[in-house]
Structure 1
């Protein structure tokens, strides 16, 4: 995989360098655009695929874990009960709405609706990957949902950095709530927030962490729902096997929480904190470079007009819902 990893790192370094001359666009957006262009023109070799996919997934997990050194319990306290209520309502209403329009408007099968709902409500492809085996979704259902949700995230990546500050011009917390409550993948949340400012990155990540922490709950409920639906269809009454919830929470969430507790109790050296921020920032660029390199034109075409419309309606609903809830709760 080293060739693909090396290529992704080179694209990331090039994006960092170009960002000095295009600071308004930022290294993250440049990495994404550069990755899409190169991944569909010069860098299409099959031997790059495994390393690019690795670069898209794993470095950002380390970056997320290190974010625990940058926040404390006092920072989370700043979100208050409003933050928890906001995220719970966002996730619940998103899942129900996405599954409902999938059935009524876009006529997709139930499992695809569940994958789309969980992917948009929680953390994109990671949530879809966690839910798919639990509801016995097919590879085609999984791939289509991942492609659609990924493309939706790309749209939000470019829209929200302009829309958020325009709607909430004097509050980094509320801009962070908008981004952290709507954008699908963790890496895209960091990339989107980075296009606003570093304070928004911190708040958006906290809101996103609340969503990711609830991933285990979503997987559990989706699994139980799918099993009940299957039993009803087959007329069976067998007992649903228990699910080990702790295995559904990603390792980087545990690491994030541990480092958060440590930074809340102990004052960490500034050099250590700044180093963690630098690593997190660069790994965010690597993540978006990987996303771009891995986002092929055939993936976009493979989603079809129906699923692209499904994804577009979903993100419009999410953004509208987020703005409404923020105004009501805050």
Structure 2
């Protein structure tokens, strides 16, 4: 009995401080610290860059400029950062949200977010694999980043898809490119809307539109602040509700992936001429960290912790996610990105166009129904 208990404990809580992991953890932490410090530069903040974006860029530079010479002792810690610390970071991300956020945008705001998410991801799966001929993992990762919350959604989706580092990096790159473009484009769209009235000509309506269609939280803030404080407040709330949809999205995606895997396994069984049965890996890959994310949101909604403590937790979470992004960058080789080619960028551009045009249509229709 004691033996099994100790075995379970060892399995459930892998030690961060294992000697084989320390070098890689230290390297990931150093890059994350540099990125977090650099993000305090006013120009970077004004243009919507986040510590996560900088961490992956710096990590890629390190990973392609001499990392191979120190790779053997660092690899276990780097892998631990981009896998285990990532999951913990996504769970703690729930401290940024509360269920009360839903009340601030109303049922119409929730419905808009849901329709934008579902339509964007569905288009991503169809166009990515059939028109642009991308592999399924890359198409889904870019779709998740575009439809939910940028790099955080890409990283959260990676364990469900078991994607390769190069695929994840390509997806994050598209979020950076088009999310950064949105920062400059959306204030111009707001001015055009004042004349053409594609949407209701109010900061509130445009704030919901911005929060429901721009990729990253930081990019939403930067774009909406250029319009007005009221637009920024509404945009952030709409974006947070969209982020909250990450957990159910991961659960549904896991069920979908499992179903597809089970079909392939069944087909393989039926094609066996000798009648033998080969068991496949079609079981449901449950993203348990998604349940942890929802539990943290529920706990945070009860407002039991002081604001200062929640702020410190968010700082720790930001550091964990930055370490995960740094590790991802370290693991990515530029040769892999060159192999990916221009197709992912073109594909992400189409999704960006849908977010702007299709998102405006969804916002207009839903707000008219609930007017």
Q: Is TM (by shorter chain) over 0.5?
A: yes
Match of 1:298 in 2: 335
Match of 1:216 in 2: 251
Match of 1:248 in 2: 286
Aligned-CA RMSD value: 4.0
Q: 1:149 aligns with which of 171, 178, 181?
A: 171
**Shift in Å at residue 230 of structure 1?**
7.8
1:23 is aligned to 2:61: no
Match of 2:140 in 1: 118
Match of 1:59 in 2: 85
Asked whether the equivalents of residues 259 and 282 of structure 2 are also in contact (C-alpha less than 8 Å), the reply is no
**Counterpart-to-counterpart distance in 1, 2:61 and 2:165:** 21
**Shift in Å at residue 301 of structure 1?**
0.9
User: Which residues of 2 match residues 47-196 of structure 1 at below 5 A?
Assistant: 47=72, 48-102=74-128, 104-107=130-133, 112-113=135-136, 115-122=137-144, 123-124=153-154, 126-127=156-157, 129-131=159-161, 145-164=167-186, 167=189, 170=203, 173-179=208-214, 183=215, 189=216, 192=219
User: Which residues of 2 match residues 181-330 of structure 1 at below 5 A?
Assistant: 183=215, 189=216, 192=219, 204-225=239-260, 248-251=286-289, 253-330=290-367
Measured at CA, do residues 308 and 58 of structure 1 come closer, stay the same or move farther in structure 2, by a change above 3 Å? same
**Shift in Å at residue 300 of structure 1?**
0.9
Match of 1:136 in 2: none
**Counterpart-to-counterpart distance in 2, 1:306 and 1:6:** 35
**Counterpart-to-counterpart distance in 1, 2:351 and 2:363:** 18
**Shift in Å at residue 215 of structure 1?**
1.8
Asked whether the equivalents of residues 59 and 329 of structure 2 are also in contact (C-alpha less than 8 Å), the reply is yes
What is the aligned length?
305
**Counterpart-to-counterpart distance in 1, 2:141 and 2:317:** 23
**Counterpart-to-counterpart distance in 2, 1:165 and 1:13:** 32
**Counterpart-to-counterpart distance in 2, 1:225 and 1:130:** 13
**Counterpart-to-counterpart distance in 1, 2:240 and 2:77:** 26
SS of the equivalent of 1:25 reads: helix
Asked whether the equivalents of residues 98 and 116 of structure 1 are also in contact (C-alpha less than 8 Å), the reply is no
Question: Which structure has the larger Rg?
Answer: 2
SS of the equivalent of 1:24 reads: helix
Match of 2:58 in 1: 34
Asked whether the equivalents of residues 94 and 318 of structure 1 are also in contact (C-alpha less than 8 Å), the reply is yes
**Shift in Å at residue 210 of structure 1?**
0.2
* 1:230-282 Cα shifts (integer Å, max 9, x gaps): 8689978x9xx99876x52332x323322333333344223322222322333
TM-score norm. by structure 1 comes to 0.71
Q: Which runs of 5+ in 1 are unaligned?
A: 133-138, 184-188
**Counterpart-to-counterpart distance in 1, 2:220 and 2:248:** 20
Asked whether the equivalents of residues 97 and 240 of structure 2 are also in contact (C-alpha less than 8 Å), the reply is no
